[in-house]
């Protein structure tokens, strides 16, 4: 009888403990939900206040309301498919999520400031940032053209008309984008300038639209190899792309190529300036004309960093997050160059400010170029001097 009472008492005590613990967890969950769904949270990233002033809207998003709605139409299906059942995410409509991240990218504010203004903690903002950046890249995939023979001929025609530079398919350039030192990285991201970075290598056409980007190479080893180790770089340098048939310049067959600065090696498909202090007149003319063409990629990077001011500061993100931010900004760049170039490009060509935020790649001085590559450059030099 005594053992039965003792067992009953132990059971009752255990049951009461379980009930109290369940009640405690329920109250804790209610407090969390109450914090998540307070009325002011419905105003997180509220666009209605900004819609009252087109000027303020453009300052916050660097695009008009019409362009913003067009962008949301392309991104919405990808953004909605990424929504989960977390009440923190459900409480923010997809359109407002897009607005929060665009404002974060355009103004370059700190994540904690953006989270405080929109009543979102930093962890939730990080989740939204990754989802929105992924959705932008997926929704704007068509903004990057394919490297087909038809497209290559069109790009070459644009360069010849605008810069009088024949057979040029695009201009390649690279930059170091500063990031916070990643944990356990063993200085893989520490570049030659002494700060941590990821490398972006891009090719653009004559109108500053990116035709290819490669993001995420280590700052330490990306100075000279980011492009040559990328997929397009390998295909281009190994002549695996569907290049147009060589054209005749000065009665010599001259291949189509992309132009680059001293950070890239001279190659049959990659043209770079003459190097040295004692150049003859013809070499100086060639370098001058090539320099005018190289302005395309510098102007493209300048517009990118001026419009998306997240590049203006060290990205306080892990490398994979920084990679998503950079890629999303490049997709947005192409989208806005197509949708509203008159407002996005900020100034005529001659007035575009130089990019002083992202750092140049280190000049490439390794190896000797093949004689055939030097011969092609000399032939192009003679042709450009004959047209001068």
Give pLDDT tens digits for 171-216: 998 888 888 888 777 778 888 888 888 888 899 999 999 999 988 7
Backbone phi, psi, residue 365, to 5°: -130, 20
Q: Quote the pTM value.
A: 0.82
Residue among 336, 259, 334, 257 nearest 293 (CA): 259
- Within 10 A of 289 (CB to CB), how many other CB atoms are there? 20
CA diameter of the chain: 115
Higher-confidence position of 15 and 261: 261
Q: Measure CA 180 to chain center.
A: 17
pLDDT tens digits along 205-255: 999 999 999 887 777 765 456 777 778 888 887 888 899 999 888 888 889
Q: What is the DSSP string of 4-40?
A: HHHHHHHHHHHHHHHHHHHHHHHHHHHHHHHHHT-GG
Q: 10 Å Cβ neighbour count for 161?
A: 10
Q: Could you identify the residue written with the tokens 């914090």?
A: 35
| pLDDT at 180 (0 to 100) | 86
Q: Return the beta strands (E) in the chain as ranges.
A: 168-178, 197-204, 210-218, 247-249, 252-254, 257-259, 270-271, 359-360
Please tell me the distance from the alpha carbon of residue 107 to that of residue 327, in angstroms, as a whole number.
Answer: 17
C-beta separation of 199 from 337 below 8 A? no
Taking the C-alpha atoms of residue 223 and residue 262, their distance in angstroms, rounded to an integer, is: 11
Specify the length of the chain in residues. Answer: 388
- Per mean pLDDT, which range of 120-124, 126-130, 304-308 is the poorest? 120-124
Query: For residue 333, what is the enclosing H or E element?
Result: helix 319-339
At residue 315, does pLDDT exceed 80? Answer: yes
Q: Which two tokens stand for residue 313?
A: 């500061």
Token pair recorded at residue 95: 């359109």
Q: What's the pLDDT tens digit per position in 72-86?
A: 999 999 888 765 545
Confidence (pLDDT) at 155: 95
Gap between the Cα atoms of 66 and 11, Å rounded: 66
What average pLDDT does this structure show over 259-277?
A: 86
How much is the mean pLDDT over the chain?
A: 81
Is 295:355 a contact under the CB 8 Å cutoff?
no
């Amino acid at each position: 009888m005594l053992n039965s009472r003792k067992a009953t008492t132990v059971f009752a005590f255990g049951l009461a403990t379980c009930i109290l613990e369940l009640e405690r967890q329920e109250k804790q969950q209610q407090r969390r939900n109450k914090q998540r769904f307070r009325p002011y949270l419905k105003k997180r990233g509220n666009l209605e206040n900004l819609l009252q002033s087109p000027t303020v809207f453009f300052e916050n998003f660097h695009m008009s309301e019409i362009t913003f709605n067009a962008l949301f139409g392309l991104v919405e299906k990808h953004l909605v498919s990424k929504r989960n059942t977390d009440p923190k995410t459900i409480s923010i409509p997809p359109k407002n999520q897009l607005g929060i991240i665009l404002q974060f990218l355009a103004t370059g504010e700190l994540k904690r400031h953006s989270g405080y203004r929109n009543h979102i903690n930093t962890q939730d903002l990080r989740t939204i940032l990754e989802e929105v950046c992924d959705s932008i890249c997926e929704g704007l995939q068509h903004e990057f053209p394919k490297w087909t023979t038809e497209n290559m001929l069109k790009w070459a025609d644009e360069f010849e008309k605008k810069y009088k530079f024949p057979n040029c398919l695009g201009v390649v350039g690279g930059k170091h984008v500063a990031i916070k030192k990643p944990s356990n990285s063993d200085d893989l991201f520490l570049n030659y300038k002494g700060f941590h970075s990821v490398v972006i290598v891009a090719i653009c056409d004559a109108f500053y639209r990116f035709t290819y980007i490669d993001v995420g190479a280590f700052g330490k080893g990306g100075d000279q190899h980011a492009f040559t180790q990328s997929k397009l770089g390998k295909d281009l340098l190994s002549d695996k792309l569907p290049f147009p048939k060589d054209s005749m310049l000065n009665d010599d067959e001259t291949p189509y190529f992309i132009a680059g600065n001293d950070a890239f090696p001279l190659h049959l498909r990659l043209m770079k300036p003459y190097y040295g202090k004692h150049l003859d007149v013809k070499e100086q003319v060639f370098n001058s004309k090539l320099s005018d063409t190289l302005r395309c990629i510098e102007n493209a990077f300048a517009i990118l960093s001026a419009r998306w001011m997240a590049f203006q500061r060290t990205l306080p993100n892990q490398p994979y997050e920084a990679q998503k931010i950079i890629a999303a900004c490049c997709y947005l760049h192409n989208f806005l160059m197509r949708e509203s170039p008159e407002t996005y490009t900020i100034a005529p060509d001659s007035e575009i400010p130089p990019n002083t935020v992202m750092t140049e790649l280190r000049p490439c001085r390794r190896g000797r170029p093949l004689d055939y590559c030097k011969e092609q450059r000399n032939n192009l030099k003679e042709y450009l001097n004959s047209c001068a």
